[in-house]
Structure 1
Amino acid sequence: MNRQDTFPHSSAKADQPGMSALNIAVGVLTYRRLDGIAKLLDVMTRQTRHPARPYHLTMVIVDNDAAGSARATVEGFGQTGAYDLIYVVEPNQGIPFARNRAMDSAPAGTDLFCFLDDDEWPVDGWLDAMLETREKNRADCVYGPVQPVYPDNPPEYFIKAKVFERKKNKDGQRISYAASNNVMFDYPLIRSWNLRFEEKMRFTGGTDYLFFNQAIRRGMQVFWADKALVYDIVPASRMTWKWVLQRQYRLGNTFAVSEVLHGNLKRRLYRAAYGASRVMLGLAMLPAIVISPYWGMRALTHVLRGAGMVNGILGHAYQEYKPNAAL
């Protein structure tokens, strides 16, 4: 099954006299997370629009379940009038396959493309905040903050350690990274470079790191939009030592696997040396774990990410998203 459905066009084109509305597509991947995709599509019906920044919005939903389990849920939002809606099934399981399908499914004439996750939802002013930052900085790409939303009675140690909190920057600051959890980029620019998410990294994760890293090396300018806030659900199943430690290892491993696939010898040697130095630094810091959750977790992060880098350069690719993945 590899079918694409386009639901009735929206009436909210936001055209203004003398102004041309930008065509924006928001890509969302989903896999058997019906509550999440329903919440996100509902929230996107309430995006506030500034008259000086008109746009026409299309939501592109890529179901990575070959059975099309999200179809009925998505169809329910086809008549809202807030956006056009495209639903497509990508039967090849793996995040890079679904991300590439999302970009390939954007309507003709798309100016800007965004990615959100199906366990996230943005604030009502999210899209306009992205556009404002893009306009002020003439940005090729805009990246925004992701705030974790914890389950009831989460483990106190992980909260104090700030395990699930992501790096923040000053509003309008130029940065050297981006990821697919809250991003907007110049669609024609990316297409002109023929950039794709690396399908050889089918189950490793980190293909967005590689994708944006490649774009930045080609000259893409990324700026931080602090008001473009997105909330991210942290399920209780992730608040375990096993998940947290494996995730830190995987993140380091992803960087190394990316260098093996697309870097040169110099970059691979640098990544191996950098990984080894992080292991040594983390071991030196490790005693802090008994007195400070934050610094203790920083120590473990150094050790595990460093080990992931070294092992990745040596040929081990940790398959976090493969069923029954294990170190």
Structure 2
Amino acid sequence: MSHVAVIALTYRRPAGLKKLLDSLARQRAGAEPFKLTAIIIDNDAAGSGEAVARSYPARDDFAVHYQIEQTQGIPYARNAGLDAVPADCEFLCFIDDDEFAPDDWLANLLATQRATGAECVHGAVIPVYPDNAPQWLVRSKVFDSWNYPDRAPLKAAASNNVMISTAFVRRSGLRFEERMRMTGGTDYLYFKQAVRQGLTIVWSAGAPVYEDIPRSRMTLRWLAQRQYRLGNTFTVSERIDGTRLGLLRWAAIGVARVGLGIVLLPAFLFSPRYAMRSVVHLLRGLGILAGASGHSHQEYAPASLAKDRTQAANSANGAG
């Protein structure tokens, strides 16, 4: 029987954590049986996720491991998750605490791995919108994730829906970059380094997860800040683990994306999708250029996190 660890970081999202753990507890075996250990790393020193995580009794095929990572910052929590993986686990997964998985998620990840022999399997993240979501924003598809043919080879991955061989993780010795403590993007850098060390990644079309999109994120301001941060982390990563030539290449990409964003600005008059493409190109390009010049955007600083959680809670409760 395969043993798989599923790592989820959480920070003051007990309702989301419960929805995630409910979905993990319902995972069904496919062609091969498996045991699942959910590793919950709470980055809130107050332990806001503890009551939820400890409410799941251990079963032969499912258990929850909970621990607090006192040092705030996504890479510290991810590294704590790596350290908590049981020695007998063949694979480890990452998933977010605002996501939930269909009952056959893990079985399909395993089936894709067995069919391809890849050391890493990646899947889609499908947005789930509230009833009051602005339809122009839904139609823009700005929250839609990557999508590839089944078993397509990839050169990149993210930590929102991924399974990795623990043998590779231990052999490579790779860790999430703690110098990027509050910037985000450490998963981008991790998988970039992993591919350089020979990690093989394939797509699993049958293993999506679902992400709840709160109303508080459905604003141009939030989307602009997120796209700026995403672009910024590309060049922050290149400054940490890259070359001068690579940084120049990214700067050229930044200039091109800003130019394309400006060209697409008139799309705001007739096409939500192309209007948001304008925002994506323009703000990612600006973030890339800022990172190339030495600026690191601190999206996950404690004050920013607290504000985001408060806005999300107010939105869920119907507040303005």
TM over 0.5: yes
Distance in 2 (alpha carbons) for counterparts of 1:251 and 1:79:
38
Q: Partner letter of residue 49 of structure 1?
A: A
Q: What is the rounded CA distance, in whole Å, between the counterparts of 1:309 and 1:284 in structure 2? A: 18
For residues 229-308 of structure 1, the aligned pairs below 5 Å read: 229-308=208-287
Q: Does 1:61 align with 2:40?
A: yes
Task: Name the structure 1 match of 2:290.
Answer: 311
Which residue pairs with 1:11 in the alignment?
A: none
Gaps of 5+ in 2: 308-320
Equivalence map 1:74-89=2 (5 Å): 74-89=53-68
The 1-side partners of 2:50 and 2:226 are apart by 31
Aligned to 2:19: 39
Q: Which protein is richer in helix relative to its size?
A: 2
Percent identity of paired positions between Structure 1 and Structure 2: 47
What is aligned with 1:48?
28
Structure 2 residue 299 is matched with structure 1 residue 320: yes
**Contact 1:122/1:230 (CA < 8 Å) preserved in 2?**
yes
Task: After superposing the two structures, state which structure 1 stretch, 316-325 or 57-66, moved more.
Answer: 316-325
CA offsets 1:25-54 (integer angstroms, 9 cap, x no match): 11011111111111111121211112x422
TM-score of the superposed pair, with normalisation by structure 2: 0.92
Match of 1:151 among 130, 146, 151: 130
Pairwise CA distance, 1:289: 1.8
Moved more, 288-297 or 178-187: 288-297
Residue deviations 1:228-251, cap 9 Å, x none? 120101011101111011111111
State the partner residue of 2:157. 178
Q: Determine the C-alpha separation between the residues in 2 that align with 1:79 and 1:166.
A: 33
CA displacement 1:201-238 (0-9 Å, x = unmatched): 11111111111111112111111111112010101110
Counterpart check, 1:24 vs 2:32:
no
Equivalence for 2:114: 135
Matched residues in 1 for 2:92 and 2:187: separation?
A: 14
Q: CA deviation at 1:59?
A: 1.0
Does the 8 Å contact 2:35/2:61 carry over to 1?
A: no
**2-side partners of 1:293 and 1:48: how far apart?**
39
- TM-fit CA distance, 1:80: 4.7
Q: Compared with structure 1, are the counterparts of its residues 242 and 231 closer, same or farther at alpha carbon in structure 2 (3 Å cutoff)?
A: same
For 1:235 and 1:311, the matched residues in 2 are separated by: 28
Aligned residue number for residue 196 of structure 1? 175
Distance 1:236 1:80, change over 3 A: farther
* Counterpart contact for 1:276–1:306, Cα < 8 Å: yes
TM-score when scaled to structure 1? 0.90
Aligned residues: 305
Query: Match of 2:313?
Result: none
Give distance in 1, aligned partners of 2:58 and 2:180: 37
Decide which of 61, 81, 102 is 2:81's aligned counterpart. 102
Gaps of 5+ in 1: 1-20
Q: Which residue of 2 aligns with 1:14?
A: none
Shift in Å at residue 323 of structure 1?
Answer: 3.5
Change (3 A) 1:197 1:318: same
* Contact 1:45 1:80 survives alignment (8 Å): no
Cα contact 2:139–2:272 (8 A) shared by 1: yes
C-alpha displacement at 1:262, in angstroms? 0.5
Partners of 2:47 and 2:247 lie apart in 1 by 40
Other-structure match for 1:6: none
**Alignment RMSD:** 1.4
Deviation at 1:97, TM superposition (A): 0.6
5 Å-filtered alignment, 1:217-232, equals: 217-232=196-211
Question: How far did residue 82 of structure 1 move?
Answer: 3.8
Name the CA distance, whole Å, in 2 between partners of 1:57 and 1:80.
Answer: 10
